[in-house]
Structure 1
């Protein structure tokens, strides 16, 4: 399946919500040093007979049966093969997904990083026995053992895919390809009033990434682990940017229009936005700047008290197969988690090249979104880090 406008656009509306707070980091963090306490819950030891159904909360584009788009159907084959009927509810936000998982009515969730830590710490999801998921072995190493889904040496998620927040630019207005985020942050920028910034408290991490490179004395080693002084520095930088930015966006369709038309000359965005803008005839390119970037990843997680654990495990393995993971990633617009999803066809190879699917050197520069919590995820124990509530308050202050 090639990337077409029809398929990603169906998912873009949810992408704008999905990506409002996902999780991870540019280098694997030792989850045992984060200080995050989690319930000690058992994991499955075997897979038994199918219960007949599995109830899944997922982002649009992850669990498709052909009803949205006849070319997107990987549910029907699963149901026929396993005798597990798939009952899907499309999630609108991570907050909604957390609440739905806590209702006890769902077996699986495609959790973003902001939801995953809450679900793990709350005892809402169980650790996963990856030995029962043969396809887990083909997941790229860069998505295993991350702080947003692995704690105390236990895996709580089966990776689905990932993406970077890139610097997009319109070549009609930006003659030379940029290699830095500086034009979005510095007061002497040539693009004042013509840039776009993502509208979410998690965007504070983007400022932190830039500060890691430009103000190393602040001591920031993880953009999601900011103490009060470090957060204040990020807020100050964001206030400077507020006077320069042309528009904030959280609607991916609006971002496509702005960067494609040249209303915005450059800004932060996603590769799928670049692809769609190019498909519309826009002269748009993207780059991962030298300072690094933030990014996002999603994982399958199983309810601690799942009523249909056998079907749930069967789905996680099935959806992680090369063929199905390729379909999900191309439908949604992200790099697949299964390295073998890049093989089998020219379309698969082209998609993976576009999204740098197996390029770990690329993703080593990307700090996957992680919800900030008081226990510093950079391993510090001598300070208290700022949490997402504090970031939300700061974001309101930044935008005035």
Structure 2
């Protein structure tokens, strides 16, 4: 409250005590005029639009946000998640969801679009798509992004899940994920602790047409194959830091690289001479995309955000800071075939529950014969 207003109020009380009605009315009129003017001034000043972003760490750095806010005279509020489950929960934390734009992988995008949580995209409002590599502009060729000729998401960043091997122990790069079962590497193999990915990459290695939609007989065959893999395993890992420590300490020869090139860089920083290969049958890969929430309160700004994220400077920073590939330039050391066709983007699986139940038995050490029924 200003000094002038405080003095006017004190004067008003003094007039009332003195019984000076005329003067007190004059003070009241002054105060009403003052507050009316202040209200008009406040209403005349432009308020910043707010963009609510739901994303993974590393996808909305502070300097990127500051530049965006300055350019579009907006305020960006970011909520970070650390798992697909957390992302799903956040999107269901209110009705309507309190977010405008979100980042999710292809499998989740398919799930969200199916449940009516995403807005159809007008691709003409994202001109920076022209900067992307041709493969990533062909949205209908990437499963999960287009439904009934309607696009729901734009590729942003990705990582393959290939094989990481110790060059000192394996002179020639392996050509298939089946190398994980090679008896020469008994006790020297690391595998990622995941039901979904293990069933999918094994199905891919066995030549199944769709590693995400397994028939009951295929499911049993894959389960038995994963039981056999235990003969070669040192252990399962969960975090990339854990994998690096185990690789170094136990002189691991071969590893299913769930975190791809991020793990390669971590191991090389730890002093290990490792190689990285995409198997002949292809490799699973996650592709994170930007999408707009169906109940977004600011779609115009959401489109600007997606377009902004496709700038070369953002892509270069993403690769440099996070070790992740961007969709504008080839990943360091990447040699994709036929436009990247050998990367198999994650899709929804036939039965998450069944895979999880079988995986618990495999991880617990159930014997092979129990999976033959």
Task: Tell me which interval the TM-score lies in, with the shorter structure as reference length.
Answer: 0.7 to 0.9
Larger Rg over CA atoms: 2
Query: Is 1:133 the counterpart of 2:121 in the alignment?
Result: no
Where does residue 267 of structure 1 map in the other structure?
A: 255
* Contact kept? 1:51, 1:308, Cα under 8 Å: no
* Contact kept? 1:173, 1:262, Cα under 8 Å: no
Where does residue 87 of structure 1 map in the other structure?
A: 77
Where does residue 365 of structure 1 map in the other structure?
A: 342
- SS for the counterpart of 1:397 is helix
State the structure with bigger RCO (CA 8 A, min sep 6), 1 or 2: 1
Task: Measure how far apart 1:54 and its partner are.
Answer: 0.8
For 1:82 and 1:170, how far apart are their aligned partners in 2? Answer: 48
Task: Measure how far apart 1:208 and its partner are.
Answer: 0.4
For structure 2, which runs of at least 5 residues remain unmatched after alignment? 1-45, 365-373
Where does residue 101 of structure 2 map in the other structure?
A: 108
For 1:293 and 1:317, how far apart are their aligned partners in 2? Answer: 29
Where does residue 323 of structure 2 map in the other structure?
A: 333
For 1:277 and 1:163, how far apart are their aligned partners in 2? Answer: 16
- Map 1:236-275; keep pairs closer than 5 Å: 236-269=224-257, 270-275=260-265
- Map 1:192-341; keep pairs closer than 5 Å: 192-203=186-197, 204-212=199-207, 220-269=208-257, 270-339=260-329
Where does residue 24 of structure 1 map in the other structure?
A: none
Task: Measure how far apart 1:355 and its partner are.
Answer: 4.2
* Contact kept? 2:244, 2:267, Cα under 8 Å: yes
More helix by share: 2
For 1:93 and 1:208, how far apart are their aligned partners in 2? Answer: 24
In the superposition, relative to structure 1, how do residues 361 and 387 fare at CA in structure 2: closer, same or farther (>3 Å)? same
In the superposition, relative to structure 1, how do residues 363 and 185 fare at CA in structure 2: closer, same or farther (>3 Å)? farther
Given the two structures, how large is their TM-score scaled by the length of structure 2?
0.78
Task: Measure how far apart 1:291 and its partner are.
Answer: 2.4
The count of residues paired between Structure 1 and Structure 2 equals: 310
- Map 1:8-47; keep pairs closer than 5 Å: none
For structure 1, which runs of at least 5 residues remain unmatched after alignment? 1-48, 66-72, 213-219, 343-351, 373-385
Given the two structures, how large is their TM-score scaled by the length of structure 1?
0.73
* Contact kept? 1:172, 1:262, Cα under 8 Å: no
Task: Measure how far apart 1:338 and its partner are.
Answer: 2.1
Where does residue 61 of structure 1 map in the other structure?
A: 58
Task: Measure how far apart 1:141 and its partner are.
Answer: 3.1
For 2:232 and 2:271, how far apart are their aligned partners in 1? Answer: 27
For 1:199 and 1:276, how far apart are their aligned partners in 2? Answer: 19
Where does residue 20 of structure 2 map in the other structure?
A: none
